[in-house]
Amino acid sequence: MKLYNTMTQQVEQFVPLEPGKVKIYTCGPTVYNYAHIGNLRTYVSEDILVRSLRFLGYEVIRAMNVTDVGHLESDADEGEDKMLKGARRERKTVWQIADYYTDVFFQDMEKLHLQKPDIVMRATDQIDEYIEFIQVLQDKGYAYQAGGNIYYDVSKFPDYTKLSRMPLENLQHGSRGEVSLDENKRNPYDFALWFTKSKFDDQEMKWDSPFGRGYPGWHLECSVISLKALGEQLDIHCGGVDHISTHHTNEIAQTESYTGRKWVNYWWHAEFLITDEGRMSKSKGGFLSLSRLQELGYDPMDYKYFLLGSHYRKQLMFSDEGMDSARTAYQKLKERTLALEEAIETEAYLDQFKAALADDLNTANALTLLYAVLKDDSLKSGEKRYIIQQMDTVLGLDLFREKEHDLDVETIERLIAERNAAKSEKNWARADEIRQQLIDMGISIMDGKDGTTWKVN
């Protein structure tokens, strides 16, 4: 297996710490809103990584956090808490917001046939571990207290910028390039480990600690959860490219200060999904969630097919035309795979398929091979089915599931009528709930001038 390693900026031969076993950590979602389809692109790419390693014979264990506390609007510890923003927007408690969007995130993963990480931990469940971690950093002289908060002192960590390779003075903090204005910091690149005071004192989530009642800084959770779930060293750490310059840089500094040794062997980063207005992002609003895409008449698998056509390390431009042609191609592909006869075992094509995956996850080549199998007249229909079934254990395109034909039309129409009644009473929450219920049944609804129409995904 060859993988690009952000730390060395090269495609490298992958060698695990322990032969045959791979330990992977993935930065999880911040659950204050729906994941957008850009976030989901990263999770799809990570799923291909994990499934490819498994297909190539590795035993993989993967852990992921769920960020339900501490992530401020800017990655450089500035601005309001994201969870609190979500709670205000929806007039709910932060805990309700976290539970709701965590559930929706895992539903989205299921719709895209993504394997759930083997270990999932919520940031709010690790408070004792954060306290211990911070105390060790204090004892070792990496952390200081100022203005009621505890900060990590980046000047104490040699090679702080080794991942991004940006000179400190150029280091762009946060995805939007801002540098922290917090006057308590000894230098602007220091980052918070624990807050007891911030400009936003209405923070709902607070815990008692030896440093005062407060809450953890955002970066802490990934270090602590990864140590707890996977031990002191990791094979692969994953995330989107926006995390390179701040979040992962800070994760490395604090984790290696804590353990006193190298932490991660391969840093793996997925590129952005962009639109003609730039990077898709939650804070900009107007983003597309997977449910919204379904309402627009696309199947989650259409989107996945769209993604697999390009490499995870290239930016991908989202467009209606791109989605339409992915939908057409995917539906045709599925018609062809469903028409294949009963599987007959063969080794044909599988080495080439493995080679495409082992080439830094070349999913576009993997798809090309899949079409080559369909076209190959020297193969029996059943052999084609066997090979493509094997391929689909990695691609996860659900190529052999028949559509359910026994539709319960009466229930669908009753739900649509109920939703319309809820809408006319301005009960948006109920209307959304019903729409979600229909989506879960595999039904998309379209509101038009002449009322609501529906179709099977």
Nearer to Zn ion, 22 or 222 (CB): 222
Among 390, 328, 305, 370, CA closest to 41: 305
Report the first-to-last Cα separation within the chain, whole angstroms: 36
**409, 417 in Cβ contact below 8 A?**
no
Interaxial angle between packed helices 320-338 and 363-375, expressed in degrees from 0 to 180 and rounded to the nearest 10: 40
Residues 22-51 that bind Zn ion (CB under 5 A): 27
Alpha carbon distance 318, 211 (integer Å): 46
By CB under 6 A, is residue 27 in contact with ligand AMP?
A: yes
Q: Binding to ligand AMP by residue 39, rule CB under 6 A?
A: yes
**Two tokens, residue 356:** 């495409």
- Determine the interface stretch with ligand AMP among 51-59, 123-131, 274-282, 420-428 (rule: CB under 6 A): 274-282
Determine the Cα angle at 225 with ends 219 and 231, to 5°: 120
CB within 8 A of 176, min separation 6: which ones? 74
Q: Which stretch binds ligand AMP (CB under 6 A): 149-157, 213-221, 280-288, 399-407?
A: 280-288
- Count of positions on this chain that bind ligand AMP (CB under 6 A): 19
Does 289 engage in binding with ligand AMP (CB under 6 A)? no
Q: Which listed range, 27-35, 292-300, 380-388, 435-443, lies at the site for ligand AMP (CB under 6 A)?
A: 27-35
What tokens were used for 292? 């919204």
Q: Which of 217, 239, 300, 396 binds ligand AMP (CB under 6 A)?
A: 239
Map residue 324 onto helix, strand or coil. Answer: helix
CB atoms closer than 10 angstroms to residue 395:
23
Given the complex with ligand AMP, which of 71 and 113 has the nearer CB atom? Answer: 71
Answer with the entry of ligand AMP, Zn ion, none that 240 interacts with (C-beta below 5 to 8 A by kind).
Answer: ligand AMP
Roughly what angle, to the nearest 10 degrees, separates helices 381-395 and 37-55?
Answer: 120
Helices (H) and strands (E) in the chain, counts: 14, 16
> Applying CB under 6 A, which of residues 237, 243, 384, 419 lies at the interface with ligand AMP?
243
Taking the complex as a whole, the smallest distance from the CB of residue 49 to ligand AMP amounts, in Å, to 13
176 binds, among Zn ion, ligand AMP, none (CB under 5 to 8 A by kind): none
Q: How far is the CB of 67 from ligand AMP (least distance, A)?
A: 6
d(CA 189, CA 179): 7
Kindly tell me which of 189 and 303 has the beta carbon lying closer to Zn ion.
189
**Least distance (Å) from ligand AMP to the CB of residue 159?**
23
Closer to Zn ion at the Cβ: 255 or 337? Answer: 255
Q: Which of 5, 6, 30, 209 binds ligand AMP (CB under 6 A)?
A: 30
215-234 residues in contact with Zn ion (CB under 5 A) are 222
For the bound state, the minimum distance from the C-beta of residue 237 to Zn ion, rounded and expressed in Å, comes to 8
**454 vs 435: CA distance, rounded Å:** 11
Closer residue to Zn ion in complex, CB, 144/258: 258
Determine, following the binding rule CB under 6 A, whether residue 117 of this chain makes contact with ligand AMP. Answer: no
Sign of the alpha-carbon torsion through 425, 428, 430, 433: positive
Q: In sequence order, what are the residues at sequence separation of 6 or more whose Cβ sits closer than 8 angstroms to the Cβ of residue 174?
A: 74, 75, 76, 78, 246
Residue 281 in the binding site for ligand AMP (CB under 6 A):
yes
Cα–Cα distance for residue pair 44/114, rounded to 1 Å: 7
Q: Does 41 bind ligand AMP (CB under 6 A)?
A: yes
Binding-site ranges for Zn ion (CB under 5 A):
27, 222
Binding-site ranges for ligand AMP (CB under 6 A):
27, 29-30, 38-39, 41-42, 67, 239-240, 242-243, 270, 272-273, 279-282
